[in-house]
Each structure stands twice: as structure tokens, then as C-alpha cells.
Chain A
């Protein structure tokens, strides 16, 4: 069964550094999402992306965050200048059509020191 794949599985970065989290959505999917889950807390929506542009973003997704689909397969989340509170698990999800369920990747655990 096709899967959403995310790399790396764990990223450790110094505060203030830039990080790029990578996702390869399922190949025929058209809608892409990033979520974060701080340890012990709920899954929080960050951003949705469709037709090469952001469709919706949450208040968490401030100017430090950006997303890109640089080619036909990758979907990336960049955090420009990381803060301690960015430490979390980041999940990528994709879906084939608007009304269909999302499928999640295994996540990237981001640890900011």
C-alpha cells in the first residue's frame, strides 16, 4: 500500500538554525498538510497546500515557517530560525481528493537544543 514518507525521522538542531523537514506524499494525492504534535499534547494543524499554493494556515504558522513543493514529489516544511518551543513531532499528511481522508507519514521528531 502506498505510504507518505518523511525524512529525517529525527532531527536535532541548535536554536536559531534553519531546518527543512521533507515529505514525499502518496503519488496521486493532490492535497498536502503539515501538523505538529508537542509531546503529550494534541495534533495541531499548521498548513494545507493545494494547487501549488497555501490554502489555509493556522496562527502557529507564522513568518518563520514556509512550505514548498519544489518538484512533483517532495513537499517541504522550513523553519527559518528555530526556537526551543518548536521541539515537537511534525507530521505530513496527504489526500487524493477534498472529501477523502488524509493519510499520515511517520513523522519527524524535531529537537531544538
Chain B
């Protein structure tokens, strides 16, 4: 059965801390791994990773994929209260030529002032 597991489930840090969120997966026909940030409503797209070892970076956020060990990490440096959200990891896989997405349960991050 295809599965995506995120850890930790929740995390409380203080502003300025660095956090690392983990996502491991076991799927057939892997295509890509995506990170989303979910605040009150829609998940908003952060990164899509398809190749191992290539870091994607956007401001204080960065992410990398390891296709051999089947995991990805999302790093947030110098955290701010606005980073408080649920961070979702999703894996895209293909079945019969079409894309399907499996989501993890998310990591709930709370950044305290």
C-alpha cells in the first residue's frame, strides 16, 4: 500500500529557531514529492522535488529529496510567527499513466514570539 509519513506530528519553537520537517514515503511509480503550507484554508504550494540531492530554496525555506532512502526534509531557518501552519507533504505517483497524489498527515508547526 502506498503511504506517506510525516514527522513530527507537531512542533512548537520560538522565533529565530531553525526547524526540520521530515517526510518519508513508500510508493510505486514515484514521480515527485511536493511540499505545501496550509494555514486556515487552501494548501499553498512550496516546492516540487523530482531529483535526489538538489536543494530547492525559497527565502528561509529549503527542501531536498533522497530517492534512495525515500525521504525529504523541509528546513525553515530563522522562523517567524507567520510560519505557523500545517506543512503537508504529498507524493505524486502514476497509475495507468495518470497522476495520483498521496498526502501525509502533516506537521503542525507553532512558532512562538
Interfacial residues, chain A to chain B (CB-CB below 8 A): 4, 31, 33, 35, 41-45, 48, 50, 55-56, 91, 98-107
Give B102 Cβ to nearest chain A Cβ, in Å: 7
Q: Would you call B68 an interface residue if the criterion is a C-beta within 8 Å of the partner chain's C-beta atoms?
A: no
Give A106 Cβ to nearest chain B Cβ, in Å: 4
Query: Would you mind naming 10 contact pairs between A and B with Cβ atoms under 8 Å apart?
Result: A4-B42, A44-B103, A56-B98, A56-B99, A98-B99, A99-B99, A100-B48, A102-B101, A104-B42, A104-B45
Whether A56 pairs with B104 at a CB distance below 8 angstroms is no
Residue total for B at the interface (Cβ-Cβ under 8 A) = 23
Contacts of A43 in B (CB 8 A): 43, 88, 90, 103
With the chains together, A99 CA to B101 CA distance in Å? 12
Whether A42 pairs with B105 at a CB distance below 8 angstroms is yes
Closest to A106 in B: B41
Q: Would you call B34 an interface residue if the criterion is a C-beta within 8 Å of the partner chain's C-beta atoms?
A: yes
Whether A104 pairs with B43 at a CB distance below 8 angstroms is yes
With the chains together, A55 CA to B99 CA distance in Å? 9
With the chains together, A55 CA to B95 CA distance in Å? 10
With the chains together, A99 CA to B48 CA distance in Å? 10
Whether B42 pairs with A106 at a CB distance below 8 angstroms is yes
Q: A42-B103, A45-B100, A50-B98 are in contact. Are A101 and B43 (CB under 8 A)?
A: no
